[in-house]
């Protein structure tokens, strides 16, 4: 059964790039455009992994991550932070909020896919 | 500001990578090297944007260091890994000479890496034969880092001006060799913010050596500038 990935990204193009690549790689993609919506979607769609932009409207990626990780059964669901910040403190902040990994923009989709597959234990 | 400039470019680069990966279907063979060119030009534009953003932050007095412990040896390693293939393409020998058991420094690792990357990038760019060498050591609580090349050298009257903005030794080089004339100005700013200094020694026709002298522990509060 195909694994499900929740993409939380407010920029339409960046979301489309991730969606197209993940879908072409055989994943089922669920999309969300803000932090608050991502928590609702996570609860209803039960994704296997979350790609979380940090700079998000409504609720930022740190808070959204905390809320998703607090949902029943979500502690072990990997959340990968995707950020435009390249400051050391920001990675610590993301990990402190519960993110399992941290990628800075601009990332190559291929590089990101390697990380995703690593977490999902899928064939590289 | 930085987000607004980088996001559209990230989209261009991302779509180009997916096209090249064949995500949108097979492409004519001939279009693949063009996508490589789109991506390399896009990456070049990205580095120019980063440079211009750094300069505008410096001018606005908003340039901040992210201070933490760092290992000088791993900065040299990062820079070597990033540049050795370019040196190899130009058939230049690439050597590093890092003193053993250097103590941990306190400073902005990412910014110091940027400085060394700039110096080594310049050395490779302007040297057509011979070698580029990075040395790193420590004396009296200061790291001493140098980048030497066997390039054309810099005229003595230019050595003191080369760290000024938009200064390039030969302005016809801007087109031939690329660059913004801003890299060394940013490098000097970063080094001086660490309480260090940077200068160049050069003999025309024999090469140049850029030297940095950095307090091992930058005299700034961790986490802030």
Total residue length of chain A: 124
pLDDT value at B148 more than 80:
yes
- Residue B114: the pLDDT is 92
- Residue A22: the pLDDT is 92
**Percent of chain A with pLDDT strictly greater than 70:** 95
Query: Chain A: nearest CA to B3, how far in angstroms?
Result: 7
| Residue B126 near residue B110 (C-beta atoms within 8 A) | no
What are the pLDDT digits (tens) for A41-83? 999 999 999 999 988 888 888 999 999 999 999 999 999 998 8
What are the pLDDT digits (tens) for B170-197? 655 555 566 677 889 999 999 999 999 9
- Name the pTM for this structure: 0.73
Q: Indicate the range of A16-25, A55-64, B60-69, B158-167 predicted with least confidence.
A: B158-167
HSE (side-chain half, CA atoms, 13 Å) at A28? 8
Q: Which residue has the higher pLDDT, B218 or A106?
A: B218
User: Best of A9, A11, A15, A17 to disrupt the B interface by mutation (most B CBs within 10 Å)?
Assistant: A17
CA dihedral B68, B71, B72, B74 (to 10 degrees): -120
Taking the Cβ of residue A109 and every Cβ of chain B, the question of whether any pair is shorter than 8 Å is answered with: yes
Please give the interface size between A and B, counted as residue pairs whose CB atoms are below 8 Å apart. 54
Is the ipTM, as predicted for this complex, more than 0.85? no
What are the pLDDT digits (tens) for B90-113? 999 999 999 998 999 999 998 999
Q: Which residues of B touch A14 (CB under 8 A)?
A: 7, 10-11, 14
């Amino acid at each position: 059964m195909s694994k499900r990935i929740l993409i939380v990204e407010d920029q339409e193009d960046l979301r489309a790039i991730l969606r197209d690549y993940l879908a072409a790689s055989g994943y089922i993609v669920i999309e969300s455009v803000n932090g608050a919506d991502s928590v609702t979607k996570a609860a209803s769609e039960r994704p296997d992994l979350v790609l979380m932009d940090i700079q998000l409207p409504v609720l930022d990626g740190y808070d959204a991550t905390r809320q998703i990780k607090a949902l029943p059964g979500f502690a072990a669901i990997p959340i990968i932070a995707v950020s435009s910040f390249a400051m050391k403190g920001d990675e610590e902040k993301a990990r402190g909020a519960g993110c399992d990994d941290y990628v800075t923009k601009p990332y190559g989709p291929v590089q990101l896919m390697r990380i995703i597959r690593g977490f999902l234990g899928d064939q590289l | 500001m930085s987000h607004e400039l980088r996001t559209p470019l990230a989209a261009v680069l991302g779509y180009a990578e997916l096209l090249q990966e064949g995500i949108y279907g097979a492409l004519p063979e001939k279009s693949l090297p063009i996508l490589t060119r789109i991506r390399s030009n896009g990456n070049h534009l990205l580095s120019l944007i980063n440079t211009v953003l750094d300069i505008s932050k410096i001018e606005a007095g908003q340039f901040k260091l992210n201070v933490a412990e760092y290992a000088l040896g791993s900065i040299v390693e990062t820079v070597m890994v990033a540049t050795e293939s370019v040196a190899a393409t130009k058939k230049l020998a690439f050597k590093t000479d890092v003193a053993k058991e250097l103590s941990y420094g306190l400073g902005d690792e990412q910014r110091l890496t940027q400085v060394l990357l700039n110096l080594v990038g310049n050395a490779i760019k302007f040297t057509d034969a011979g070698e580029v060498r990075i040395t790193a050591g420590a004396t009296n609580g200061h790291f001493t880092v140098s980048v030497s090349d066997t390039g054309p050298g810099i005229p003595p009257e230019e050595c003191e001006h080369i760290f000024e903005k938009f200064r390039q030794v030969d302005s016809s080089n801007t087109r031939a060799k690329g660059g913004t004339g801003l890299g060394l100005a940013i490098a000097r700013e970063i080094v001086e913010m660490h309480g260090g200094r940077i200068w160049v020694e050069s003999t025309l026709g024999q090469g140049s050596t850029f030297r940095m002298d950095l307090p091992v522990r930058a005299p700034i509060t961790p986490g802030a500038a």
